[in-house]
C-alpha cells in the first residue's frame, strides 16, 4: 500500500486513485502527518454557525465525527474535499462529517461550494477561534472523534481518504 500523501506544490506526477468507483487525481508530495491523540486528550467543543446562521456543536454529538478545517484559498483542501465527501457517503449515518471553513465570509464559501457542485453543510469559523482552540496551524487539518465525543486522531495536511489506511483510521473511531 502507498503511504498517504500531502500536497506539496506542482511536483509533476499525478497519482491516480480509485475512490468509491470514481477516479481522482492527487499530486504526489510529502506525507500527511497522522497523529494519534493520547487517551483523555482534551479538544474543547465549540459552536459554529452553518451557512444559514444556525449554530451547530463541533464535534457533532452522539456519533463518530470527522471535523475538517479548510479554506477556499487552500489548494490541498480543495484537492482532498471530494474524497472526504465520498467517505461521508460511504459511511452514511454512522459518521458525521463537519467541514469547518476558516475565516472566510459566508458568501465566499457559498459561491465556492456552488461552483464546485458540493452539496454538504459547511460551518463557519469566521474569527478563527475554533481553529485556535484546536491548535490548527496547517490546512487542511482533520480530527476524528468517537461517538462519545473523544478526540482520537488528527491529520495535518492533505490526506488520501480513499486508501485502506484511511479506512482503518476511520474505523478506529468505533473501537
Residue spans of the chain under pLDDT 70: 1-30
DSSP state of 145: E
* Cα separation, 50 vs 60, whole angstroms: 13
At 31 the pLDDT is 74
Closest CA to 48 of 156, 172, 134, 147: 134
SS3 state of residue 39:
coil
Task: Enumerate the domain spans of the chain.
Answer: 32-174
Q: What angle do CA 145, 151, 152 make, to 5 degrees?
A: 85
The CATH superfamily of 32-174 is Glutaredoxin (3.40.30.10)
At 30 the pLDDT is 55
Amino acid at each position: 500500500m502507498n503511504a498517504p500523501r500531502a500536497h506539496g506544490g506542482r511536483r509533476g506526477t499525478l497519482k491516480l486513485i480509485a475512490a468509491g468507483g470514481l477516479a481522482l487525481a492527487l499530486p504526489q508530495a510529502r506525507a500527511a502527518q497522522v497523529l494519534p491523540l493520547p487517551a483523555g486528550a482534551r479538544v474543547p467543543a465549540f459552536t459554529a454557525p452553518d451557512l444559514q446562521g444556525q449554530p451547530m456543536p463541533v464535534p457533532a454529538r452522539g456519533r463518530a465525527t470527522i471535523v475538517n478545517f479548510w479554506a477556499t484559498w487552500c489548494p490541498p483542501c480543495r484537492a482532498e474535499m471530494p474524497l472526504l465527501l465520498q467517505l461521508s457517503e460511504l459511511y452514511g449515518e454512522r459518521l458525521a462529517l463537519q467541514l469547518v471553513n476558516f475565516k472566510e465570509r459566508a458568501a465566499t464559501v457559498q459561491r465556492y461550494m456552488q461552483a464546485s457542485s458540493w452539496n454538504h453543510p459547511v460551518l463557519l469559523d469566521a474569527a478563527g477561534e475554533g481553529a485556535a482552540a484546536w491548535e490548527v496551524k496547517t490546512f487542511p487539518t482533520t480530527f476524528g472523534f468517537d461517538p462519545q465525543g473523544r478526540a482520537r486522531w488528527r491529520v495535518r495536511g492533505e490526506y488520501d481518504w480513499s486508501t485502506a489506511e484511511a479506512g482503518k483510521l476511520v474505523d478506529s473511531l468505533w473501537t
